[in-house]
Structure 1
Amino acid sequence: MPYEPPTHTVERSLRATTGARTVAGVDEVGRGAWAGPVTVCAAVTGLRRPPAGLTDSKLLTAKRRDALLPVLQDWVTAYGLGHSTPEEIDALGMTAALRLAAERALNALPVRPDAVILDGKHDYLGAPWKVRTVIKGDQSCIAVAAASVIAKVSRDAMMAELESSADGCAPYAFAANAGYPSPVHQAALAEHGPTAHHRLSWSYLDGLPQWRHLKKHRPSAEAAALESGGQLGFDF
């Protein structure tokens, strides 16, 4: 399906209205996975013309994403990666875990950004960061699109490494599913239960009677918000 290429429109607007000189695009991957970290990339691109074919990572094949990664790493002005572990996600809840991973990514940049473009409508960063949220920013904003590709390829590689090197991870096929739900992943969970790399506050454990006793409860504030219909950015 044809798509409009991303632009620097939001970056230019932030420069004009706020005086921001360094603008970082931020995107995350792994929020809806059952296993592995949530990963955030912060990318600074300036106003240079992007590599051909850059768009939201979800619109690209794995082969195209892999080919784009080294090009983007050389092209961006700077980028930083941040992760929150399954243990941190279980202990803090997803909203706080996303903020932690994003702060780690932003703090990994050589220069603190004057403004941040955050993909989506939910600002999980907040003060003191100056945030502009953009729905589908990974499709419309060049810096966010770059961040989405770097985050996706980097996390996928981490999950593939887990499958090949971590004890007991081979049956879960993390290289193929990156920790997200899949028939093979579900079957492995039913037979072997969760590994040390699984999130134990996730609802998949409700469907596994023999492993349900391992489930951890989310922080009460997030649980209450979910029960009352609040939106905290969860993606199961």
Structure 2
Amino acid sequence: MLLSNYSGYTLEAGIDEAGRGCLAGPVVAAAVILPAGYSHPLLNDSKQLSKKQREQLREVILQDAVCWAVGEASPAEIDEVNILNATYLAMHRAIAGLQLQPEYLLIDGNRFKTALATPYACIVKGDGKYLSIAAASVLAKTHRDDYMCSFTEESEKYGWAQNAGYPTKQHRDAIAKYGATPYHRQSFTLLPKQLPLFK
């Protein structure tokens, strides 16, 4: 049973990301403030849900949330500042996009770096413990999956509709065959034996 609140503050924002381990595409973060005492029987860590369940829950979250926002950091930004700092950047963009100022931030994971005065806590595997983080995980995952499917030619060649840019055999075989795209992260090891892949 996931919990509805950690801090006691009403405007507690759950924050999670998707795409840190991908070879291509942005890292995406979402921030969600749910109503006090909120509950939903299906809401859970997005990795524990089917694609259909995530899509259904996305609509529920968008309707039920007090407010929500999504932020991204691009492949170029990932290459420039590294994936950890790019994740913080995406999280801050999501927080900044909220229509209401959160009183408390609940971050999925074991670390966070910020200049914000807002108090926060890092919760390891928080997307399986707190509803607001689970909601953020669903929004971040579904937003990112849709984005990766929007590049019709690349998505078809590299299998992004299936692998969302993660380093599957299908994806790496396509990189070996076709080379890399501008959407790939140049600072990542795209193939086990890194080659000058960028055109």
Per the shorter chain, which TM-score range? over 0.9
Name the structure where helix makes up a greater proportion of residues. Answer: 1
Whether the aligned pair in 1 keeps the contact of 2:5 and 2:12 (CA below 8 Å) is no
- Does residue 1:7 correspond to 2:23, yes or no? no
Gaps in structure 1 of 5+ consecutive residues? 215-236
Per the TM alignment, residue 206 of structure 1 is displaced from its structure 2 partner at its CA by: 5.3
Q: Quote the Cα distance in structure 1 between the aligned partners of 2:155 and 2:73.
A: 19
Corresponding residue of 1:64: 53
* Partner amino acid, structure 1, of 2:160: F
Gaps in structure 2 of 5+ consecutive residues? none
Per the TM alignment, residue 204 of structure 1 is displaced from its structure 2 partner at its CA by: 2.5
Corresponding residue of 1:44: 33
Q: What TM-score does the superposition give when structure 1 sets the normalisation length?
A: 0.79
Please point out which of 180, 183, 188 is paired with 1:194.
Answer: 180
How many aligned positions are there? 198
Q: Which moved more, 1:44-53 or 1:79-88?
A: 44-53
What SS does the corresponding residue of 1:26 show, helix, strand or coil? strand
Q: Based on CA coordinates, which of the two structures has the bigger radius of gyration?
A: 1
Corresponding residue of 1:136: 125
What is the identity percentage for the equivalent residue pairs of Structure 1 and Structure 2? 32
Distance verdict in 2 for CA 1:147–1:157, change over 3 Å? same
What does the per-residue CA deviation read over 1:26-74, in whole Å, with 9 as the maximum and x for residues that have no partner?
0000000000000000000032332221000000011111111111110
Distance verdict in 2 for CA 1:33–1:170, change over 3 Å? same
RMSD (CA atoms): 1.6
Q: Which moved more, 1:110-119 or 1:34-43?
A: 110-119
1:75-224 to 2 correspondence within 5 Å? 75-125=64-114, 127-162=116-151, 164=152, 168-205=154-191, 207-211=193-197
Per the TM alignment, residue 124 of structure 1 is displaced from its structure 2 partner at its CA by: 3.5
Distance verdict in 2 for CA 1:134–1:93, change over 3 Å? same
Q: Quote the Cα distance in structure 1 between the aligned partners of 2:76 and 2:18.
A: 17
Q: What TM-score does the superposition give when structure 2 sets the normalisation length?
A: 0.93
